[in-house]
A and B are shown apart, each in its own frame.
Chain A
Amino acid sequence: GDSVTQMEGPVTLSEEAFLTINCTYTATGYPSLFWYVQYPGEGLQLLLKATKADDKGSNKGFEATYRKETTSFHLEKGSVQVSDSAVYFCALTPPGYSSASKIIFGSGTRLSIRP
């Protein structure tokens, strides 16, 4: 079945470092792909999305490119801040589906930024 695999955390970086959080997926066809972020004590926030191959989603300095050839949607940021410390979730909706009930979430990657 369809699935999402994220890199294991926690990921610890120093402020201003470059960030990559890997996400790969298994799905037939072209799923929609999402990154959500969950700050401590809060719910998830939609960070960015891409719905077709080669699309680049971007928001708040974060970017992710939908790579069909490698079935990946890695999250990147050029210079992280302490305020980026959170748990990041990669998610997909299988092709042909658009309902909340079909969203497949990854297990989450905890990111911690040192000042």
Chain B
Amino acid sequence: KAGVTQTPRYLIKTRGQQVTLSCSPISGHRSVSWYQQTPGQGLQFLFEYFSETQRNKGNFPGRFSGRQFSNSRSEMNVSTLELGDSALYLCASSPETSGRSDEQYFGPGTRLTVT
């Protein structure tokens, strides 16, 4: 079974621009979550989607948004990029075994650099 895929793998943007990152979960997984990983803050939860609905949202400004499509694929968008948004953005999907989504299967991430 194919793993979680994320595109693009690397991205360089300028302050003030916006960016869209894409994630395809493992086939059959309906839960998709997004994380931001930085050396200083570690892994921080951004959002979780299930069946096209945002189920949970982390403590990030409104510039960060996301959505999930009917085929479970997900996108996240960051508008008005700031230098501090430079990070590895990880997408993860979950099989939702017994209603749990804390068993996460991660993609390789998108490395975003804001200049």
Q: How far is the CB of B43 from chain A (nearest CB, A)?
A: 4
On whether A43 and B90 interact (CB within 8 A), knowing A98-B101, A99-B101, A99-B102, the answer reads yes
In angstroms, Cα B88 to Cα A108, docked, is 15
In angstroms, Cα B94 to Cα A7, docked, is 28
Number of chain B residues whose Cβ lies closer than 8 Å to a Cβ of chain A: 27
Chain A stretch 52-105: residues in CB contact (< 8 A) with chain B: 89, 93, 97-103, 105
In angstroms, Cα B39 to Cα A107, docked, is 9
Q: How far is the CB of A34 from chain B (nearest CB, A)?
A: 8
Determine whether the beta carbon of B43 is less than 8 Å from that of A100.
no
On whether A100 and B33 interact (CB within 8 A), knowing A32-B102, A105-B43, A107-B42, the answer reads yes
Determine whether the beta carbon of A101 is less than 8 Å from that of B45.
yes
Q: Does A44 contact B (CB under 8 A)?
A: yes
Q: How far is the CB of A38 from chain B (nearest CB, A)?
A: 8
**Given pairs A42-B109, A99-B48, A103-B104, 7 additional interface contacts (CB within 8 A):** A34-B103, A36-B104, A43-B6, A44-B43, A100-B31, A101-B58, A105-B43
A residues engaging B (CB < 8 A)?
32, 34, 36, 41-46, 49, 89, 93, 97-103, 105-108
Give 27 CB contacts A-B under 8 Å.
A34-B102, A42-B108, A43-B6, A43-B90, A43-B106, A43-B108, A44-B92, A44-B106, A46-B105, A49-B103, A93-B102, A98-B102, A99-B48, A99-B56, A99-B100, A100-B45, A100-B56, A100-B92, A100-B94, A100-B101, A100-B104, A101-B55, A101-B56, A101-B57, A101-B58, A103-B104, A107-B42
